[in-house]
Structure 1
Amino acid sequence: MNLLTVYGSPTPPGKLARALGLAEDDVRARHPGWIVDRLVPEPTADPVVALWGDNAVERVRAADAVILASPVFRGSFTGTLKLLVDALPNEALRNKPVGILTVAAAPHHFLSAERHLRDVLAWFGALTAPNGAFFVDRTFASDDVAPEARADLREFVEQVTVLAERLPGHHFGPDPLHVRFTRPKASDASAPATRKTT
């Protein structure tokens, strides 16, 4: 199975990347049948927003499970991650296990970015892991990460891998509202075309 982790920050790898790396290493160590791949944006001259490569959407679509990682920025997830999410078709995340990993400068940012990401993932009909992982960024200030944080990351990724392994190909309905409202009705497809006359 294939786990795609998404580094949703425009800044060079630092504390968020260290947290994501520990999660990736845990999957490799405890789930040897899994392939772990990281999607990273391409830096630009703008320090706030980075762009995604041409194959980013296809890599998300091809994954069996996804971890979205973002720093908390202005009380939400980053514009960089939003650019990727906006480019995804519904089927790229529909019924797919997705975990949310966020880091912030202070504990009072708990749930801010996660709450917004959960709303977006509900729009896709993603199978969002019940418990996100939130850490104050100083937790990953060095390679000497506390055992408690490592244990939390282990439990976090376990949710995502278990969902993917036990529910492959399972379709959860009903379809999200936007899918139902944009899907052609059977009556529309079978009805003959009519010509308006004056």
Structure 2
Amino acid sequence: MICLAIILWPHCLGITLDESKMVKILQGFYGVPGKEQLTNAIDLAQASFGCCGMNSVINYDTSLWKLQRYGQREWVVPLTCCILMNNNDILYYLDPKPVNETQCQMLQETEFSEYRHSIPCLKYLDNWYREQYLVFLSASLILAIVQICVLLSIIVNCSNVPSKKVEEKKMSELRKPPTETHHTLVKNIYEQDLALQSLRKYR
């Protein structure tokens, strides 16, 4: 049921990405010195999913990356927004090589449409986030089930120990030779017979 809820109603469970926050993160931290890990993560997403920006390609127009000139002045979007020729390389997103950098950085859509990704990344990131959350939740549930099974087996084994001891005690009692009480009874009867015989002699 939980897995079904994650797929059908992710908003109710709070496992979707906040669109406005994601846009602010991109505009406020992408390309900023000291935020290299975040920049590399966004570059990886754009290059892997074939997308650009969070909810729109124009997210970069009002970003610090563009306003503070952290990228090259003539760039409209980062190179990972471009269609790349080296996407078979392992770390291609760290050294992107556009098929046509000039056309990719054009302002008119008719000029860059064949050389730049125009689909926003938020949808792809949201799906990826839900998949990872589902994997994590499934692994946690499996681990919890295993732990419960182990705990139950320990409890069952511990509860069987006293009953086994009782059975062993009963079996050991059945295997014992006649008890001392029985021997004493036989001895007393024998002594009584001797006493009667001695009385008969004196008569």
Q: Which has the larger radius of gyration?
A: 2
Decide which structure has greater helix share.
Answer: 2
| TM-score, structure 2 normalization | 0.27
RCO greater where, 1 or 2, for CA within 8 Å and sep 6 or more? 1
Decide which structure has greater strand share.
Answer: 1
